[in-house]
Amino acid sequence: MKFIQDFIALFYPDLCLICDNNMLKHEDCICTSCLYRTPKTDCFKQKENEVNKRFWGRVKLENAASLFIFNKEGNTQKLIHKLKYEDGKSVGVFLGKQLAYAINESDFFNNINFIVPVPLHPKKQKLRGYNQSDYIAKGLSKILKIPINKKSLVRVENTDSQTRKKRFSRWENMMNSFALNNTDKLKNQHILLIDDVVTTGATLEACTHKLQEINGVKISIATIAIA
Ligand SMILES: [Zn+2]
């Protein structure tokens, strides 16, 4: 079977998702030179970084970091697009692994007990067929050997969205879109909250607020990109 796969790969090698060139056998999703040319943040080198600062005065975090810089028309945007709209499960796992390598190299992302992906709105997940953050978490978990918890933080469906819109601001709506479920395992644990891109940080802020209702919990945040 391995022989047949290698034989097929000889004629139909995988193509890099960014430059469309043939990839080498050890390469996955994107080629080494495209990966090298995707702009990285220096978040994993300094504790007080741009991601951390985005949450100052909003929520208390242990650590926060993003791997790539999201530039319009750039490599990161292409990758995030693949991740979200083109059946990006394998891209998600790949990006999760890259994030894990950065975490392993930093000296302040220690003692994490659980990885929690930001839950997607149920309607969106149904439409997309998957939650991209689940696959990022999968890649992370594989390298970091830290378990994933997908059950404790859930997204609540707003059935009465029209009334909610009238009565609450967007921020309040966001704050009310998450709920907790079976949180015993998370008591006194350090959670790494995962999302694809951090922009305003409202979603991650809302998740952190919710998770901090659990006794003794500590939260860190890691995302693939910062916009
Ligand atoms: Zn390439």
Give the per-residue pLDDT at 5. 64
Tokens matching residue 185: 């395992």
Whose CA is closest to 221, among 203, 195, 189? 195
Residues 149 and 116: their CA atoms lie apart, in Å, by 5
Q: Whole-angstrom Cα distance, residue 207 to residue 175?
A: 8
Cβ-contact 190, 111 below 8 angstroms: yes
Nearest CA-CA partner of 198 in 224, 177, 161, 169 = 224
Cα 79 to middle of ligand 1, angstroms: 11
C-alpha–C-alpha distance, residues 7 and 13, integer Å: 10
Q: Tell how far the Cα of 214 is from the centroid of ligand 1, in angstroms.
A: 43
From ligand 1's centre to the CA of 27, what distance in Å?
10
CA of 18 from ligand 1 middle (Å) equals 5
pLDDT, mean of each 10-residue run, the chain (227 residues): 64 84 90 95 95 96 97 91 90 97 92 96 90 97 97 82 64 86 96 97 96 97 97
Query: Do residues 158 and 173 make contact, with C-beta atoms less than 8 angstroms apart?
Result: yes
| 34 C-alpha to ligand 1 centroid (Å) | 4
Contact 136, 88 (CB under 8 A): no
Q: What six digits make up the tokens of 116?
A: 């929690």
Q: Given this model, what pLDDT does residue 18 score?
A: 93
Of 100, 105, 112, 117, the residue nearest 46 (C-alpha) = 105
Query: What distance in angstroms lies between residue 21's CA and the mean position of ligand 1's atoms?
Result: 6
Give 193 Cα–ligand 1 centroid separation in angstroms: 29
At residue 203, the pLDDT reads 94
CA of 22 to the centre of ligand 1 (A): 8
Q: What is the pLDDT of residues 165-223, one digit of tens each?
A: 666 677 788 888 999 999 999 999 999 999 999 999 999 999 999 999 999 999 999 99
pTM of the predicted protein model: 0.90
Please report which helix (H) or strand (E) contains residue 161, including its range: helix 161-167
Residues with CB in 5 Å of ion ligand 1: 16, 18-19, 31, 34
CA of 53 to the centre of ligand 1 (A): 32
Give 204 Cα–ligand 1 centroid separation in angstroms.
31
Structure tokens at 136: 């990022």
Q: From ligand 1's centre to the CA of 31, what distance in Å?
A: 4
